[in-house]
């Protein structure tokens, strides 16, 4: 059975919410959503210069995931904490540091990432085994997510689909009329909706511990995605899956372990077809308090931004007079 959800409620605790990974794709959206609700926010960062653009009211806790004691200090006086695992060889060790620190502090932990969901440990073990066979490079991520799920933190595990914003790695290819990322047919979701859902859970103590799917309104294939980009850009975009081009784009954009994880993941998602269930869509809508954003909506917004950036700067038309005319 899926965890039950009450109607969205705004709860503003006097204590801050700690957000790890605040400069990342998801952590930054969690911070944005929390600030929009008027919550107190504390970010856990390696260097405060990385969050210079955040408002002064946002508290800065400096430390690293390697250093458990710095996490313990960052958690002092907090109401809840958000964690997303970095793409790192030591990701299980880092997660253990964060989870155990939350357990020691008696702080609720909200995690977003890959998780083999199920109503009990046996069901999740079976799902984790199957998923691990399909994506062996994600086995550490599956293990650390289960560690969160079974932790003594009243945990909530958010399980998002493939991010809409991943398409931004191929912006130039899209503008040239090509969509090279392989997609069979999979659930996709906007990172802003992930941030909104996480903020809800971090502030609303009525949300029960458990695993919650986060999806967009429909599963999308590569052809569906290309069609949405065609409509958004006002020009034909062809679905042209190309593994070599995909590898180049992720190496160029991310590099390192993150690029490798993305490359391996897309090799799988290019072959599978997974439909969104009614339960998953209900869970997402309940967490958000509204329907999730559609890919077509996201593509229109992104295309408008990209096309505006391509417009030539108009000549200066001010009233200044040249020396000869004065």
Task: Report the 3 state secondary structure along the chain.
Answer: CCCCCCCCCCCCCCCCEEEECCCCCCHHHHHHHHHHCCCCEEEEECCHHHHCCCCCCCEEEECCCCCHHHHHHHHCCCCEEEECCCCCCCHHHHHHHHHHHHHHHCCEEEEECCCCCCCCHHHHHHHHHHHHHHCHHHHHHHHHHHHHHCCCCCCEEEEECEEHHHHHHHHHHHHCCEECCCCCEEEEECHHHHHHHHHHHHHCCCCCCEEEEECCCCEEEHHHHHHHHHHHHCCCCEECCCHHHHHHHHHHHCCHHHHHHHHHHHHHHCCCECCCCHHHHHHHHHHHCCCCCCHHHHHHHHHHHHHHHHCCCCCCCCCCCCHHHC
Residue 50: the pLDDT is 86
Please give the chain's pLDDT, 326 residues, in tens: 445 454 444 557 789 999 999 999 999 999 999 999 999 999 999 988 888 899 999 999 999 999 999 999 999 999 999 999 998 999 999 999 999 999 999 999 999 997 667 677 777 777 777 776 777 777 888 889 999 999 999 999 999 999 999 999 999 999 999 999 999 999 999 999 999 999 999 999 899 999 999 999 999 999 999 999 999 999 999 999 999 999 999 999 999 999 999 999 999 999 999 999 999 999 999 999 999 999 999 999 999 999 888 766 555 433 333 333 32
CATH number for the region 17-304 comes to: 3.40.50.720
Q: Domain map of the chain by residue range? A: 17-304
Tens-place pLDDT, residues 157-192: 999 999 999 999 999 999 999 999 999 999 999 999
pTM of this prediction?
0.88
Tens-place pLDDT, residues 223-255: 999 999 999 999 999 999 999 999 999 999 999
């Amino acid at each position: 059975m899926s965890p039950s959800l009450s109607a969205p409620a705004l709860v503003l605790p006097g204590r801050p919410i700690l957000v790890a990974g605040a400069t990342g794709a998801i952590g930054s959206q969690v911070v944005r959503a929390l600030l929009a609700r008027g919550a107190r926010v504390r970010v856990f960062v390696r260097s405060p210069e990385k969050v210079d653009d955040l408002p002064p009211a946002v508290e800065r806790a400096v430390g690293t995931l390697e250093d458990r004691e710095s996490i313990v200090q960052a958690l002092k006086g907090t109401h809840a904490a958000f964690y997303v695992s970095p793409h790192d060889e030591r990701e299980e060790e880092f997660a253990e540091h964060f989870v155990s620190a939350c357990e020691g502090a008696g702080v609720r932990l909200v995690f977003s990432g890959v998780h083999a969901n199920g109503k009990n440990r046996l069901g999740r073990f079976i799902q984790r085994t199957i998923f691990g066979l399909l994506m062996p490079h994600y086995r550490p991520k599956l293990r650390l997510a289960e560690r969160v799920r079974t932790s003594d933190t009243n945990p909530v595990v958010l399980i998002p689909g493939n991010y809409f914003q991943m398409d931004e790695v191929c912006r130039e290819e899209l503008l040239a009329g090509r969509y090279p990322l392989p997609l069979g047919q999979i659930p996709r979701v906007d990172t802003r909706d992930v941030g909104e859902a996480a903020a809800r859970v971090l502030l609303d103590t009525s949300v029960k511990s458990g695993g919650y799917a986060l999806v967009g309104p429909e599963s999308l294939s590569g052809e569906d995605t290309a069609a949405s980009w065609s409509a958004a850009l006002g020009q034909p975009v062809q679905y042209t899956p190309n593994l070599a081009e995909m590898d180049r784009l992720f190496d160029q954009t991310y590099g390192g372990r993150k690029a490798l994880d993305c490359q391996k993941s897309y090799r799988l998602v290019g072959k599978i077809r997974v439909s969104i269930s009614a339960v998953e869509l209900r869970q997402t809508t309940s967490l958000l308090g509204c329907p999730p954003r559609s890919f077509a909506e996201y593509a229109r917004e992104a295309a408008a931004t990209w096309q505006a950036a391509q417009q030539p700067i108009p000549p200066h038309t001010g009233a200044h007079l040249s020396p000869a005319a004065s």
